[in-house]
Amino acid sequence: MQELVQRILDEGEHIGDGIVKVDSFLNHQVDPQLTWRMAKVIHDSFLAEGVRRITRVLTAEVSGIPVALQVAEQFGAQMIYARKSHSRTMTGTYYVAEAVSRTRGISSELMVDRRFLKVQDRVLIIDDFLATGATLTALARLVGESGAELCGIACVIEKPQEGGREVLTDLDAPIITLAKIRFDEDGLHVAS
């Protein structure tokens, strides 16, 4: 997706340790029109892969929510986000999986209320980044624990050098990314 590639090149900032800051349009401030167009590309890419009849789109709070919501809307599905912390309103039973955050460097539990993910569901996992694959693997464990069918995974930005795609190969689901970034001595490189 060339528009996304250009935004990353224009506004992305490499802040060290292989982390790129894209908070002007994806992670803090959200560009609604770009988000809608990214979701449309993801939707159309899954249709081209033969992925249909999606009932749930799952993401982790917070940065994956805008794109996941738009993808869910395009499929006519419900969007669920895995919570990272308990609140007083969380009174039910939950599927729980642990993930280590690449940007925060801490471990957290991802939790989804069992009422919202059922064995008959057909699920897409959507996130903002594919780096080490830790968050996506944890989300896939939640889907597996529920007995639902994992139909695909999509991420806005992939960092191939971190090996996350290889970690996910056992999931036997199509993986779609819109932009790939890499860093070397010459700086940040982006391709679609």
Q: Which tens digit of pLDDT belongs to each residue from 106-156?
A: 788 999 999 999 999 999 999 999 999 999 999 999 999 999 999 999 999
The model's pLDDT over 28-84, given as tens digits with 9 standing for 90+, comes to 999 999 999 999 999 999 999 999 999 999 999 999 999 999 999 999 999 999 998
What pLDDT is attached to residue 22? Answer: 96
CA 165 to chain centre: 12
Instruction: Look at the pTM and tell me if it is higher than 0.85.
Output: yes
The model's pLDDT over 4-13, given as tens digits with 9 standing for 90+, comes to 999 999 999 9
Q: Is the pLDDT of residue 90 over 70?
A: no
* Residue 135 phi, psi (nearest 5): -65, -45
Rounded to whole angstroms, the Cα distance separating 87 from 71 reads 27
Q: Is the pLDDT of residue 103 over 80?
A: no
96 forms beta bridges with: 111
Q: Where is pLDDT greater, at 140 or 27?
A: 140
Q: Where is pLDDT greater, at 74 or 19?
A: 74
What pLDDT is attached to residue 188? Answer: 87
In the numeric block, the tokens 């990314």 are attached to 177
Q: HSE-up of 31 (CA within 13 Å, CB side)?
A: 16
Q: What's the mean pLDDT in 22-31?
A: 95
Q: Where is pLDDT greater, at 103 or 63?
A: 63
Rounded to whole angstroms, the Cα distance separating 66 from 4 reads 15
What pLDDT is attached to residue 102? Answer: 67
- What ranges do the domains of the chain cover? 2-191
Rounded to whole angstroms, the Cα distance separating 4 from 181 reads 11
Joined tokens for residue 94: 């939950």
186-191: long-range contacts at Cβ-Cβ below 8 A with a sequence spacing of 24 or more? Answer: 187/14, 188/8, 188/9, 188/12, 188/14, 188/20, 190/5, 190/8, 190/9, 190/12, 191/5
Q: CATH number of the domain at 2-191, please?
A: 3.40.50.2020
Joined tokens for residue 146: 């529920």
